[in-house]
Chain A
Amino acid sequence: MGFIHIDNIRKEYGKQFALTIDNLHIPEGTLTGIVGNNGAGKTTLLRLMLDLIEATRGSITIDTQAVAGSGHWKEFTGSYLDEGFLIDFLTPEEYFYFTGKLYGLQPEAIDERLMRFTRFMGGEILGQKKYIRNLSAGNKQKVGIVAAMMVQPRLLILDEPFNYLDPSSQILIKRLLQEEHEVRKTTMLISSHNLNHLTGICQRIILLEKGKVIKDLSPPHDDLGEVERYFSLQAG
């Protein structure tokens, strides 16, 4: 039985379709990577899962409830897609407290949970007396990811979390995601352009092309070389 069910979903913008998936089930506790080139439909899929855009047809259910028209899934979902998830006139601390309180966390609990991310934030985020809008792109990305993970969600959705991060932070965030998955069995959906970031950590890789699922692989049983060859072919 899947935790996330995508049934016959289609998203069109005018006469152009952006995404069409007949059937996709994601069991609870899996770490799934979504890969594809620009315009493949990765962000569209994640936005549909977070009920931020309306599907032209079909439905997505999380934990047996349709995401459209229900707020039940929000109680246990953490997400970060882009800067639209940041409140840029707050300091990182204020932002963490705001999002934490939305999940019913007390300030002390938020402080405690942030400790885990101290190394990832690298001393450039907390206590800097800067608004989020004055942080670098990489540090903004870190703030968004930490806020999504800090609430210890059952479902974590991240869009291109490795973008803007320096190599050390990319390694750190991979570790944190793996830890989170192993310790709490968090269901994770992570999109990326870069297959290398996902191969080491994901139990399942979904390859999207022009709005369609063209490969659904489960390493190490399946050979990821196939996906690498796909990207090479696309490059010509």
Chain B
Amino acid sequence: MTSFQIFRTLMHQGWLSFRRAHYFERSMGIKALMAFVAIVFLWYAYLLGLMLPSLLQQIFPDKEAHEAFFAIWLYIYAADLTMRLFMQKLPKQLIQSYLSLPVSRNTLAGYILARSWFNIYNICLFALLIPFYKSVLHHPLPDQAFWLAILASILLAGVNHAIIIWAKAWPFRIAAIMLPVLLIAGTGLFGIAINPPLFMAFSEQAGKAFISGNGWAFILPALIIGIFQYLSHRGLCTSFYDWAGTTTVRVRSRASFLERIFARVPVYGLFWELEWRLIKRNKRSVGGLRQWPLVIIGLPLFFYFDPFDNASMYMYLLVMVAGGYGYFHLQYTFSWESRFFDLIASRQTDLHAFIRAKYYFYLAMGLLQILPVLLLLVFLRPDLVWPLAGMFLYVTGPVFAFMMHTGIGSSTRIDPNKRASFNFEGTSGTLFLVVFVSMFSVVVLMGLAYFLPLAKETGLALLTAGLGLMFILLHKVWIKAIEQKFLRRKYHNLNKYRG
């Protein structure tokens, strides 16, 4: 077989592995529900794309919508680069089964690079951009402006993609990571701190160069993509043993400061130590945790620049962040431990203490994560401090209780060390319902707050805080119920955990 034929076969098998993934083996009901959720998100993005021109004209009344958009274009791609830096991975796991076959490193490296382009981050922004460009790029602009803007957006997404893939493929990883970090920091420094008008003017001119069909505007990003793809290929070929996973990661032998503290706590400390190590040492869990610094900074900034200036609009969305990382983790209660639950079940483990330890751990972690957000809000949006504090109590109270209770019912085996992004392992219809109910319950509370003789936000803060405190204080009662439920379903769950 020629190298090209092998490459084509690899691409075909890559397609087969996607089509035959566990995710598609689910029941029709769950697939329909997930498709519905995807459509809702796409619909939201589409609507936002349609609303964007009027929003931009509120912020930049002296500019046309497309000019205003191009003025903030580079900020958007800097944000995209930041997200990719944390989330986008080199799909090196794809080639593990080909390592022992007579396939050259060149072909395998080429295959990884080619497959890396089939990534959701390269297309998700277009759900918003297409309706936006369609609505603003028309007469008196040239006819081809729409297509040129689409091509420009593809190239800019491509530049970000190529830089991130290079940063993760280059043998000197830390040095390579510095490039996207410097680009993001540079955007922040010049575009926010030093001279925002000049930066925006540059960004606007760049956008205009694209839609006016200036050849250099297209050649430059295409060149950058080409150079970084070439460098990535070279990097992958020279650091074969690293990305092929044949080198072993060495770990620290001493317990960390936090682990040593946990070790001193009687009863719960042992489980906290285990919980912390589980989160920290597995790709899926640590991926969720690593997004938190972004939330801590991004959320207060979002409210500060909030174009709607109506906090109650977002209250139902705040459920997902107000409780901290625990909201993500507790949805999969006990599935995180599925790979070793036979050990827990066959040893002298106090299940009640185990569940309580888990709850206290995520309650404390949620508090530590939300405190800096609240602190920033004191300066940026003081009116939101109490509503968010109330929401924290609500999420760590009834919402956590609800998630832990339903988590036992929807328990499936998951491998926490499989990467986080777009990993649907353990995802079920119940999980979607749990997220939906937890968000919708806040809408109900907002309705109830309307009847209270108080301002809407104050009423909601009081209701959420009151309910939250009640559940937190009565946690022993509902944890007992969760324990009973687990014992009733023990054999069923253990069977599912074994896969």
Contacts and interface: CB of A to CB of B under 8 A. Distances in A.
A85 interface: yes
A145 to B, nearest CB: 13
A50 B343 CA distance: 10
Interface string B326-348: 00000000000001111101111
A51 B416 CA distance: 25
Contacts of A130: 248-251
Interface in B130-162: none
A98 B274 contact: yes
A127 interface: yes
A197 B41 CA distance: 60
Contacts of A12: none
Nearest to B341: A84
Interface in B257-307: 270, 273-274, 277-278, 281-282
Contacts of A131: 249, 251, 281
B485 interface: no
A145 B346 CA distance: 14
B417 interface: yes
A129 B277 contact: no
A88 interface: yes
Contacts of B340: 84-88
A101 B281 contact: no
Interface in A73-113: 74-75, 77, 79, 81-91, 93-94, 98-99, 101-103
Given A85-B340, A102-B347, A129 B253 contact: yes
B343 A86 contact: yes
Interface in B478-499: 491, 494-495, 497-498
B22 interface: no
Interface in B341-357: 341-343, 345-349
A99 B345 CA distance: 12
Given A51-B345, A53-B494, A99-B347, A133 B270 contact: no
A74 B342 contact: no
Contacts of B278: 89
A222 interface: no
Contacts, number: 84
A74 B346 CA distance: 7
A101 B270 contact: yes
A29 B416 CA distance: 40
A58 to B, nearest CB: 15
A52 interface: yes
Q: Binding site of B, secondary structure by majority: helix, strand, loop or mixed?
A: helix
Contacts of A81: 342
Contacts of A52: 342, 345-346, 491, 494
B252 interface: yes
Nearest to A81: B342
Nearest to B487: A69
Nearest to B492: A54
Nearest to B274: A98
A163 interface: no
Contacts of A87: 274, 340, 343
A83 B339 CA distance: 8
A84 B270 contact: no
A134 interface: yes
Given A53-B491, A87-B340, A88-B339, A71 B251 contact: no
Given A89-B416, A101-B270, A54 B491 contact: yes
A81 B345 CA distance: 13
Contacts of A88: 339-340, 417
A67 B345 CA distance: 12
B277 A90 contact: yes
Nearest to A135: B248
Nearest to B282: A89
Contacts of A51: 345-346
A161 B251 CA distance: 28
Interface in B223-260: 248-253, 255
B253 A91 contact: yes
A155 to B, nearest CB: 11
B278 to A, nearest CB: 6
27 contacts: A50-B342, A52-B342, A52-B345, A52-B491, A53-B491, A53-B495, A74-B347, A79-B346, A83-B339, A84-B341, A84-B497, A85-B342, A86-B340, A88-B339, A89-B282, A89-B416, A91-B253, A94-B277, A98-B270, A98-B274, A102-B348, A103-B348, A129-B253, A130-B249, A130-B251, A131-B249, A131-B251
Given A102-B270, A103-B347, 5 more contacts: A74-B348, A84-B340, A94-B277, A98-B274, A133-B417
Pick the 6 closest A-B CB pairs, nearest first.
Answer: A84-B342, A54-B491, A89-B281, A74-B348, A85-B343, A50-B346
